[in-house]
Each structure stands twice: as C-alpha cells, then as structure tokens.
Amino acid sequence: EIQLLESGGGLVQPGGSLRLSCAASGFTFKSYWMNWVRQAPGKGLEWVAAIKEDGSDRKYADSVKGRFFISRDNTKNSMDLQMNSLRVDDTAFYYCTREAHVQGPVRPFDPWGQGTLVTVSS
Amino acid sequence: DIVMTQSPLSLPVTPGEPASISCRSSQSLLHSNGYIYLDWYLQKPGRSPQLLIFLGSNRASGVPDRFSGSGSGTDYTLKISRVEAEDAGVYYCMQALQVPRTFGQGTKLEIK
C-alpha cells in the first residue's frame, strides 16, 4: 500500500522555524517528484513547493520563496520542508503528495498524506 | 499565475440527483503535446484530498463511473450522474500546466 506520513507540525511563534517531514512507503520513492501543499483552516488548497526525483531541481510558491527549503533523502524515502521566518499566515495543514505517473508527461497529485498542522501564533 | 475559478461555491444536492461543477482557467490548459492539464480532487470532511479526475476527463483508479470530467480550452466541468451520500465534501479543480500549480476556490457539495 502506498503511504505518505507527515510529521513535525506544532505551535511556533512568529519568526520561528519548524521542520516538517514526510515518510514514504509502498512505492519507488526516488522515481517521483514530490510536493508540499497547504491548507489554512477552513480555506482552500495552496501549492507550496516541489522537488525533483534526484533533488536537483526545486520549485517554490512566491509566498514562501526565500523562507522555506524543500529537500529529500532517497536512501531514507523521506522528504523535508524546512520553514524559517514563519508568519501567522503560514498557519495551515501541510500535506505531502506525490506526482503520480498516470499517462505521458501528466503528473497529478496522488496520493496525499494525512497532513500535519502548523500553527504560528504568539 | 493561472487563476482557476469554480462555480458554484456551494451545491446542495438530493441523493439520486445529478450535480455539475464548473471550473474556468485564465488561460488554456491544452498543452502543445495535446494533453489537458486539468485535475479534479475531492476532500471529504476531515480527510485529505484525493484524486478524482486527471487529464480533464480520465477517472483515477477506484473512482466510480458516475463521476465524469469534460471540457477544453479554459472551460471544464465535473459531473456526477447520480449523487450519493458519500460524495459529500469539497471539490477542487487544479491546473498542472504551469508552476505554480493553482487550485480553484473549492465547491462544497452538501447532501440534502
């Protein structure tokens, strides 16, 4: 069974840092782009960051660029999101998701982890 | 960034009745390779999102055939032929043509 399990969420003060992790199992992790998507409580979905199969390419949403850093360890089947200079509006559930190989170059997000809640508050 | 606009934002439906959700993109999602980079996701209450439709009209594995996706260019539609109680939740369209991937605001389907 394919599984993605996030961890590392919690309460942090504005300006603080937090590191999220995503543990993958049930598939060949090193063969897939991986992403983080977040959802503020009661709000919609916002793509945050993506990392290439071998970690050689990274992409970020403008809202987190320069503050967040995405990384992966293919020997441990894991992906991290280092979040620095956190702001109140970074409060959200953070989901780990895989870009699935479904047809040709198309890569929808499937599956999604259960999410981990990050709360930025003083 | 490509802006995705869904309508309606709220959709009350009686079980057994059909339902339709519209998604418009600010630019065409048809790539030069011929693929449509439009996905649909469902987030059931208290759960993480799940893939329903990819390539605009292809059902993901395990998705019932009462769900169908259609559209081209900038206009897309998700249809449920006969709504069931388990279909309740928030439906999102997402464009995968460009980075950043962007989502519609979500349509909350409520079972009457």
Query: Which residues of chain B are within 8 Å of residue A102 when distances are taken between CB atoms?
Result: 54-55, 58, 60
B30-69: burial string, b at 16+ Cβ within 10 Å, e else: beeeebbbbbbbbbeeeebbbbbbbbbbbbbeebeeebbb
Contact B71, B25 (CB under 8 A): no
Centre a 10 Å sphere on the Cβ of residue A16 and count the other Cβ atoms it contains: 13
Each residue's pLDDT tens digit, B31-53: 999 999 999 999 999 999 999 99
| Nearest CB partner across the interface for A110, out of B33, B51, B104 | B51
CB contact under 8 A, B48 and A46: no
Each residue's pLDDT tens digit, A32-90: 999 999 999 999 999 999 999 999 999 999 999 999 999 999 999 999 999 999 999 99
CB contact under 8 A, B41 and A111: no
